Amino acid sequence: MKASGRNESTNAFQFMKSLVILALFTCHAIALAEESVSWENPLREKLVKMAADLTANLKPWDVPNCRFEVEKHSAVADGVTLNTTAIQKTIDECSNAGGGVVLFSKGDYVTGTLVLKSGVMLEISEKSRILGSTNLADYPDQIASRKTVMDTHMKVKQSLIFAEGVERVGIRGPGTIDFRGTKSNFPGKQTIAETPGRPFGMRFIDSKKIVVENITLTNSACWMQNYLNCEDLIFQKMMVINHANYNNDGIDIDGCRRVILRNCMINSEDDAFCLKGASLRPTEDLLVEDSTFYSTCNAFKIGTDTQGDFRRIFARNLKLGGIAKDMKSSAGHQASTGITLATVDGGTVEDILISDTSIERARCPVFLRVGSRGRLMPGMPAAPVGSLRRIVIENISGSGNFRQGSFISGIKDGVIEDVVIRNYQVGMEGGGTTEMMQAPVAESEKGYPDAHQFSVKGLPAMGFFIRHARRVDFHDVSVTPAASDARPAFVLGAGAEDVRLDGEAMAN
C-alpha cells in the first residue's frame, strides 16, 4: 500500500521545514560567531545538516497493497478468545506472500506472543484493539540469537511482539495495543536487574526499516518497547501511556542508527525517552522533534547502559518533565530529571544538541554524568571510563521545578568536557538553605547514575553544581526561585576548570 497523498504532503512539509531551519541556522550562527567556542558552530552545522538529510531520505517503506484479515484464520474479536495461533498464521501468510497489511478491524483481539516477520505491517483500525493475554504461559521465551548486556543482566525473554533479523516491518493505528500488564496480572518488584514474570511490550533486534505510527500503546508489564541494533526507524504520531507496573519505560532505543521520532507523546512511570548501549553497538544519527516526554523518572535520557557509543543526536521542540497535575500517577508528578546525559559503562557520548525545549516539574532539570559502574557481559574485559563531550543545550524554558538543582559531574578519571548551555530561563520552587550549600555531595563513582542519588533535597547551587568538568560555557542563564533561596545560582566543586558565565571565568 503506497503512501497516501496526505502522507506525501506531510513529508513535503517536513522537508520544507528542514530547509527553513537550515536557513535560520545560518543567520543564527552568524549572530553567535563572536561568543561561541571553536567547536560549537561546526557542531550545529553538522547536526542541522544531519536532520535535513534524515528528513529528506529516511521515509516509511512502501507497504504492498495487499490485506490479510486475521478473521480468515478464525480470529475472534470478542475480547475473550485467545487468537495467538490465528494471528501468527496471518502474519506468516502475509510475509510469505511478499508482504502487506495484517488487519485488525472488528473489535478486541486477545493474543499472546506474536513473532513479526519481514514485509508485515500490523494495522489496528479505529475502535479496534490488540489485547495482551493476562496469562504468563501465553508468552513463550524468545531467546535472542546474539547475546547482549541487557538480556544477560535482565534475563529478558518474553514480550507480546517480538522481531529479530527482519526488514520492512511496522505497526500502525489509529487503534490501540493494550498490553494489560498491570501489577495484578503480572506482579513483580521495581528493579534495576532481572524482571522475571513481566513481559516487555515489544522487542525488535538486529532489524531494519521499522515504522511505528499513529498508534496508542498502553499498559506494558515492563518496558513498553525496545529496539536493539536496528537501522532506519521512524516513529511518528505515537501515543504511549505506561503507568501499569514498575520499570514502565516509554521507549528504549539501543545501539540504533538513523532514527526519526516526531510528533509523539510519551507518558511513563519510568524513563520516557531513553537511549541505551547494551546491544554493544553505536547509537548514531538521531532526530527527535516536536514531541512531549513526561515521566516520574527521567524524561529524556542517555543511559543507564552505556557500553556502546552515542553520537550525532539532535533533539528540538520538546516538552519534558514530570506528569501533569491532571494526570493520575501513584508515583507522584515530579520527574527525576528533564534531561540526563550519562555514561557509566565505558561508552562515549558526544556531539549532542538539544534546543527549544521546556522542562517542568523536574527535581533536577539537567543532569550530566560520567561514572565508572562498568557493567558488561560476563567474561568481557573491564570497561574504561567513558567520555562525555561536545554538548549544547540551548533555548530552554520551564517552571515548577523542584529545589534539587541541575548537576554536571564527572569523576576524577573521567572529566566532562566542552559543554555549552545557552539561553536557559528556568523557574524552580526555591527554599534552599545555607546547610545545602555546605553539605557534601557524594562522588558515588560506581553508583547508579540517576540524579536522585545525589543530594536530592538540594544541591549546593540552586542553578548548576559543576565538578570534574572543564570548558563549560554558560550564556544568558537565569534560574528563578519562586521562594527565597539562600544558595547561589552556580557552585564549582572539585575538578571544575575553565567554567565561564557570559564569557567571564567563574572562580571556585
User: Which fold is adopted by the domain 66-248?
Assistant: Pectate Lyase C-like (2.160.20)
**Phi, psi at residue 325, to the nearest 5°?**
-60, -30
Mean pLDDT by 10 residues, the chain (508 residues): 46 59 53 75 98 98 98 98 98 98 97 98 97 98 91 90 98 98 95 91 98 98 98 98 97 98 98 96 98 98 96 98 77 90 98 98 98 93 96 97 98 98 98 96 94 96 98 98 98 98 93
Residue 149: its H or E element? helix 149-154
Q: What are the tens digits of pLDDT across the range 160-206?
A: 999 999 999 999 999 999 999 999 999 998 888 889 999 999 999 99
Q: What is the CA radius of gyration of the chain?
A: 23
Q: Which residue has the cell 478468545?
A: 81
Is residue 153 classed as helix, strand or coil in its secondary structure?
Answer: helix
Whole-model pTM? 0.93
Q: Which three cell numbers stand for residue 235?
A: 516513529
Parallel/antiparallel/unpaired status of strands 496-501 and 504-505: antiparallel
In angstroms, the CA 278 to CA 347 distance is 10
- 8: Cβ–Cβ under 8 A, 6 or more apart, which residues? none
pLDDT for 208 equals 98
343 closest CA partner among 420, 251, 277: 277
- 4: Cβ–Cβ under 8 A, 6 or more apart, which residues? none
In angstroms, the CA 350 to CA 392 distance is 10
In angstroms, the CA 70 to CA 504 distance is 66
Kindly list the distances between the CA atom of residue 295 and the CA atoms of 243, 248, 325, 342, 359, in Å, as whole numbers in the listed order: 9, 10, 12, 18, 11
Where does residue 330 fall: left (phi above 0), alpha (psi -120 to 50 degrees), or beta otherwise? alpha
Parallel/antiparallel/unpaired status of strands 231-242 and 208-218: parallel
365 closest CA partner among 313, 299, 419: 299
pLDDT for 22 equals 56
Q: What are the tens digits of pLDDT across the range 22-68?
A: 555 555 544 555 578 999 999 999 999 999 999 999 999 999 999 99
Q: Which three cell numbers stand for residue 91?
A: 502474519
10 Å CB burial of residue 377 (0-12, 13-18, 19+) is middle
Parallel/antiparallel/unpaired status of strands 114-115 and 159-164: parallel
160 closest CA partner among 180, 144, 139: 139
pLDDT for 2 equals 36
- Which amino acid belongs to residue 418? D
pLDDT for 4 equals 42
In angstroms, the CA 122 to CA 155 distance is 27
- Which amino acid belongs to residue 260? I
pLDDT for 200 equals 97
Q: Where are the domains of the chain?
A: 5-56, 66-248, 305-508
In angstroms, the CA 75 to CA 466 distance is 59
**Phi, psi at residue 259, to the nearest 5°?**
-135, 135
Q: Which residue has the cell 522542562?
A: 359
What sign has the CA pseudo-torsion 456, 461, 464, 468? negative
Distance of CA 337 to the CA centre of its chain: 13
DSSP 62: P
pLDDT for 24 equals 57
pLDDT for 158 equals 97
Is residue 41 classed as helix, strand or coil in its secondary structure?
Answer: helix
Kindly list the distances between the CA atom of residue 156 and the CA atoms of 223, 268, 373, in Å, as whole numbers in the listed order: 10, 20, 21
Q: Which three cell numbers stand for residue 26?
A: 545560518
